[in-house]
Amino acid sequence: MNPSMDEIRKYYDRDLGKQKQYYTLGSPRHRIMLRTVSRLVELFPSRKLRVLDIGCGAGNSIRQLILAGVAEPGNICGIELSPVLAEFARTNSGGVLVQELDITENLSPRSERDRFDIIILMDVYEHILPERRFQIWDNVSKALANRAVVYLAFPDGPGGNPQITDFQVEIGEVLSMVKPFELDLWSFEIVSLWRPCDYRVAVLQHGLVPKAPVPILSPLSRSGDGITQKTGTGVGLGV
């Protein structure tokens, strides 16, 4: 039997110690995110970007994106299920807006001026009950600007840090689920973290040209941090 959302919330309330470690030391997954999102900024040369980090945890991604100059503190927001993690994220990111929300509930649409150019779903999707995933994409679509991208990263199978809920994610299933919301695959990458070829990074686009996936991600190989790219971009590679 799957845990309730209240049980999941309490589980992540107890996760602050580990999240603080990521906040201090970072992780290969955060470095992949920062590298990718920094390049996505080039798609929006004429505007100040609004960024939303869904499942932001202790705010490590928010902090790194601000330090890298990807987004200004007033233009980046977080959503977090755990009140404990949300409070830490707010306190340690200079007062960035972090809302305590369940992204699997039906959320109200945002006004055009409150929508986001980049939405991040990093190490979140695999923890969502499969029957509630469609609601996530419905909520994401309500928060996307007319021209926008979604950064989606998840392990292939159990990751290096099993949690209270862990479910398999297939990129083909994701693409089928996002089609009604006019999201298309922009790029796709497979990297190695805990095991060979065990981590997936997809960028989904909304309203951008060209529509077809383009290789915006260069080959990734970094000695010493356990990251090695195994395939390039394109629909269906390695899945």
Give tens-digit pLDDT for 205-230.
998 755 544 444 433 333 333 333 43
Q: What is the CATH number of the domain that holds 12?
A: 3.40.50.150
CB 78 within 8 A of CB 89: yes
Residue 23 included in any domain: yes
Residue 55 included in any domain: yes
Residue 237 included in any domain: no
Residue 53 included in any domain: yes
pLDDT of the residue at 215: 47
Residue 214 included in any domain: yes
**Could you count the other beta carbons within 10 Å of the beta carbon of residue 84?**
18
Query: Model pTM?
Result: 0.84
Across all residues in the chain, what is the average pLDDT? 81
- SS3 assignment, position 5: helix
pLDDT of the residue at 133: 94
Please name the residues in contact with 150: beta carbons below 8 A apart, sequence gap of 6 or more.
118, 119, 120, 121, 140, 144, 183, 203, 204, 205, 206
User: What would the pLDDT profile of 172-191 be if each residue is shown by its tens digit?
Assistant: 999 999 999 999 999 999 98
- How many domains does the chain divide into? 1
pLDDT of the residue at 229: 40
C-alpha–C-alpha distance, residues 205 and 89, integer Å: 27
Residue 132 included in any domain: yes
Residue 90 included in any domain: yes
Range of weakest confidence among 4-8, 32-36, 128-132, 202-206: 4-8
User: What would the pLDDT profile of 40-99 be if each residue is shown by its tens digit?
Assistant: 998 888 778 999 999 998 898 999 999 999 989 999 999 999 999 999 999 888 889 999
Q: What are phi and psi of 101, to 5 degrees?
A: -140, 155
pLDDT of 101 strictly over 50: yes
Domain that holds residue 151: 5-231
pLDDT of the residue at 19: 67
For range 194-215, the mean pLDDT: 76
Residue 113 included in any domain: yes
Round the CA-based radius of gyration of the chain to a whole number and report it. 17
pLDDT of 116 strictly over 80: yes
